[in-house]
Amino acid sequence: MASVLLIAQHLGGELNSSTSKAMACAKAIGDVTVAVFAESGQAVADAAATLEGASKVVLVDRAENAEPVAAILAPQIAKLAQDLGVSHVVGPNTTFGKDLMPRVAALLDSVMVTDIMSVEGPYSFQRPIYAGNAIVSVDAPQDGILVGSARTASFKAVGEQSACPVEAVTVDAELPTHTRFVKREGAGGDRPDLQSAPKVVSGGRGVGSEENFEIIYRMADKIGAAVGASRAAVDSGFCANDMQVGQTGKVIAPELYMCFGISGAIQHLAGIKDAGCIVAVNKDEEASIFEVADIGLVGDLFEVIPELESKL
């Protein structure tokens, strides 16, 4: 049977929901050991132990793991995977996983399958190509340790189980000195995390300016949503680029996605195709966003948002 080392994503002592979604992918491949790399990660490891499908959790506490720096984590993951003799290493295809997992594959000199949408067998997967316009089935080679990243928008979080054993381990890996953590800067402030939030409010080029983007933040705060943006909004300097949703931004699957002044380019849609309910406000009734929207409103966002706010 295939054995999977699942890399937990966590921050601030809390397990990120992407770990639970990646678990759904990992447990479809084989028996799962969850790895938690932290400085003091007992609480995270205990939470991981209750994820349905976890056979064991290994906790690698080390001062260098205080922040999730890919260059520091990757050699430890590669060594741990070899020590445990697993057949697969899986992580979430979030910003964290996109940075980390290819480094692990490179260090293991092995093959990587990115953006796994479904598992057809331990070495057979489906993944999107052409910005999600086509889905391809891929067969990975069966020699070496296969590294994979799970498209979190395609997997539902697993349920809970009674806790499996947690074991503290040390990993004898040489860590690089060329990369160190300096500081964390996030544009979202106290708002929910864009990649895991159940509600997201996004603004596009139609918002017009950085100052005008305030109206998008206000709308989001009104309903407790994360804030996203189109690439045109990011490239125009209206907001930070970690807010970009789409093919070259974040792929998200919120229950509610509200977008204002976004035309619905194919590359933007690639990031929201798994969203539950899509609400679009655009003043152009021909905008292609209306082809995918569950609820569409032709109107000026600067009139619609204040009206929505007053009604909410």
Interaction site with ligand FAD (CB under 6 A):
204-206, 230-233, 244-249, 261-263, 265, 267-268, 271, 281-284, 287, 300-302
3-state SS assignment for residue 304: helix
Is 142 marked as binding a ligand?
no
Is 247 marked as binding a ligand?
yes
Integer Cα distance of 95 and 209 in angstroms: 26
Question: How close are the terminal C-alpha atoms of the chain, in Å?
Answer: 52
Q: How far is the CB of 236 from ligand FAD (least distance, A)?
A: 8
Is 116 marked as binding a ligand?
no
Return the structure tokens found at 252.
Answer: 């998200």
Size (the chain), residues: 312
Is 266 marked as binding a ligand?
yes
- Whether residue 214 contacts residue 203, with contact meaning beta carbons closer than 8 Å, is answered with no
Q: Which is nearer to ligand FAD, 53 or 206 (CB)?
A: 206
Q: Which is nearer to ligand FAD, 68 or 206 (CB)?
A: 206
Q: Which is nearer to ligand FAD, 11 or 297 (CB)?
A: 297
Q: How far is the CB of 211 from ligand FAD (least distance, A)?
A: 14
Q: Which is nearer to ligand FAD, 91 or 246 (CB)?
A: 246
Is 230 marked as binding a ligand?
yes
Q: Phi/psi at 271 (nearest 5 deg)? A: -90, -10
DSSP strand E in the chain: where? 3-7, 10-11, 14-15, 31-38, 54-61, 88-92, 112-116, 118-121, 124-129, 134-139, 146-150, 166-168, 199-203, 226-229, 256-260, 277-282, 295-298
Integer Cα distance of 196 and 187 in angstroms: 16
Q: How far is the CB of 281 from ligand FAD (least distance, A)?
A: 6
Q: Which is nearer to ligand FAD, 86 or 233 (CB)?
A: 233
Is 38 marked as binding a ligand?
no
Integer Cα distance of 216 and 233 in angstroms: 12
Q: Which residue positions form the known binding site?
A: 205, 230-231, 244-248, 261-268, 282
Known binding residues for FAD: 205, 230-231, 244-248, 261-268, 282
